Amino acid sequence: MTSSATTPRPWWRGCTIYQIYPRSFQDASGDGVGDLLGIVHRLPHVAALGVDAVWVSPFFASPMKDFGYDVADYRHVDPIFGTLADFDALVATAHALGLRVLIDLVLSHTSDRHPWFRESRANRANPRADWYVWADPRPDGTPPNNWLAVFGGPAWQWDSRRCQYYLHNFLAAQPDLNFHNPEVQAALLDVARFWLDRGVDGFRLDTINFYVHDRALRDNPPLPPELRSDRIAPAVNPYNHQRHLYDRNRPETLDFLRRLRAVMEPSGAAMLGEVGDAQHGLEILGEYTSGGDKAQMCYAFEFLSPAPLTAAYVARTLSALAAAAPDGWACWAFSNHDVMRHLTRWGLTDAAARAHVTLLAMLRGSLCLYQGEELGLGEAELAFEDLRDPYGIEFWPMFRGRDGCRTPMVWQAGALNAGFSAGPTWLPIPREHLRHAVDAAEADPAAILHHYRRVLAFRRVHPALVAGDMDGLAAARDVLSFLREGGGERLFCAINLGEEAAVVTLPPGRWEAVGAEINGGAPGPDGAVHLGPWQPCFLVAA
């Protein structure tokens, strides 16, 4: 049996992933919408950051009611994004640059335009009649239970063809697949095989804990007001008023994940699961990534929520994860395509933004960056008439939706549409983003882009940071500190997450300071480290 000391580290363990939202990354066709060949053109920028992989959000054939998260054909590229040949070019280019490719598989639901659903809704006796979640109404004609949709309103839509309701956890145009049907699971595993055969290195699994519903369709119990959270849905959404015991988080999900892991294992491909749960996200993360037979890594919403990352909050979260998932593996992110960009969400100054990416690189787990954060982009302020996101349109003005984090990338400050497209763009490009364009950042040694590169390079050369253990977690006022150990290295990490100077007392032993290139502090004559506002320190055991 091979010992852990000689077993190669799996590529995904401690990797850094860069998320690309195709509609907004680069438009090669000139129609104002980003596409796959645009991604090919800009991949050198991603590789130059020092990341290990890209996650490409959905590009499948879709009516775009939810901008690709409503899939009408899992095996075809939507013409707006290009062709399968373009996708093959993306994979080949990424691999040539040393980047692995994860694609976004949306398995919990399809579009109502998918041929599977069109057949299923035709009548109650066709071969796919049970491929979706259908239910008779209550005697008074109302939906079969009290489940709510994330995007607002009941999670049930009446269908006059079958005279039944179907389940949709999101839009009514996104009917939920019935994972209790083994034929559905087999079809989805075939979808995974199709893309693995095209060379992908893994999947980001959308809403991984929504796959399976309660067979008995039991009502969800109410959630007391003091336990409600806006991590998953905005505070104005009544979705937060329920304890979601029966519409998601069902134990049968684990069996499907094991089946999918078995399909992926021979190729070395990895799963990154999105866990959408406001109360038990860390526990589910641990459950889904434990045992070496399910997802390799998952992310919950603790660091994607509005709650600022104080030292105490980070320490509580990491401690809770260690208790819930001692052998699990997290993937940490501060921004993505579903939440307000973290610079705006937390009101970060430039110094604070630099400290936050440094903190991210300190954490035990894998990392995910969202396109544009390396440029210091904040959330775009859009007028109601510019919105495209159905979520924002539904809950405007108290919740403005997700368009503000999805505006096009800015590549050239002085070019038409900031170098994103030769045509009118699908979302407007904020004027305030232009000064952060890639060409301006490349020319400015003080730009945050260079700090991102230095931080990722620093993490890459320290094995304790990439995949080591974490111990000695502590939070004292604004300072978070812990030890990371692995790969023959012991590293003391501390970071000041506040505006006031702080003093850090070192653990016993001889320590040498590293990380000066990313503003790391060093011990003074008194043997302590004096940290300025938002300053980190990294010390290697001598």
| Helical residues (DSSP H) of 13-154, grouped into ranges | 36-49, 84-96, 115-120
Query: Quick one: what percent of the chain has pLDDT higher than 90?
Result: 94
Binned at pLDDT 50, 70 and 90, residue 219 comes out as very high
Q: Are 21 and 69 in contact (CB under 8 A)?
A: no
The Cα-based distances of 517 to 103, 361, 513 in angstroms read 34, 14, 11
Residue 232 has a pLDDT of 79
Which residues contact residue 222 at a Cβ distance below 8 angstroms, ignoring those fewer than 6 apart?
Answer: 241, 242, 243
Ramachandran angles phi, psi of 263, nearest 5°:
-65, -40
Binned at pLDDT 50, 70 and 90, residue 446 comes out as very high
Which tokens sit at 127? 């071969």
Radius of gyration, alpha carbons of the chain: 23
Binned at pLDDT 50, 70 and 90, residue 5 comes out as very low
pTM of the model: 0.97
Average pLDDT over the chain, rounded to whole? 96
Tens of pLDDT, residue by residue over 93-149, are 999 999 999 999 999 999 999 999 999 999 999 999 999 999 999 999 999 999 999
Class of the CATH domain delimited by 16-110+182-458 = alpha beta
Residue 302 clears pLDDT 50, i.e. is over it: yes
Residue 396 clears pLDDT 60, i.e. is over it: yes
Q: Do domains 16-110+182-458 and 469-541 have the same CATH topology?
A: no
Amino acid identity of residue 69, one-letter, is Y
Length of the chain: 542
Residue 3 clears pLDDT 80, i.e. is over it: no
Residue 4 has a pLDDT of 41
Alpha carbon distance 517, 453 (integer Å)? 11
Q: Quick one: average pLDDT of 73-96? A: 98
Smallest CA-to-CA distance from 243 within 273, 209, 219, 207 is with: 219
Q: What is the per-residue burial (b if ≥16 Cβ within 10 Å, else e) of 36-58?
A: bbbbbbbbebbbebbbbbbbbbb
Could you list the active site residues? Answer: 206, 274
Q: Quick one: average pLDDT of 156-163? A: 98
Tens of pLDDT, residue by residue over 417-426, are 999 999 999 9
Residue 510 has a pLDDT of 93
Q: For the sheet with 164-167, list strands across it.
A: 134-135, 164-167, 156-159
Q: Are 376 and 448 in contact (CB under 8 A)?
A: yes
Q: Are 514 and 464 in contact (CB under 8 A)?
A: no
Q: Quick one: average pLDDT of 148-163? A: 97
Q: Where are the domains of the chain?
A: 16-110+182-458, 469-541
Smallest CA-to-CA distance from 84 within 202, 194, 203 is with: 194
Q: Are 365 and 303 in contact (CB under 8 A)?
A: no
Residue 6 has a pLDDT of 52
Which tokens sit at 283? 């526990």
Residue 527 clears pLDDT 90, i.e. is over it: no
Smallest CA-to-CA distance from 408 within 419, 399, 400 is with: 419
Residue 235 has a pLDDT of 86
Residue 366 clears pLDDT 50, i.e. is over it: yes
Residue 204 clears pLDDT 70, i.e. is over it: yes
Which residues contact residue 506 at a Cβ distance below 8 angstroms, ignoring those fewer than 6 apart?
Answer: 492, 523, 527, 528, 529, 539
Residue 2 has a pLDDT of 31
| Cis, bond preceding 536 (omega within 30 deg of 0) | no
Tens of pLDDT, residue by residue over 35-63, are 999 999 999 999 999 999 999 999 999 99
Fold of 469-541: Immunoglobulin-like (2.60.40)
Which tokens sit at 352? 């604070």
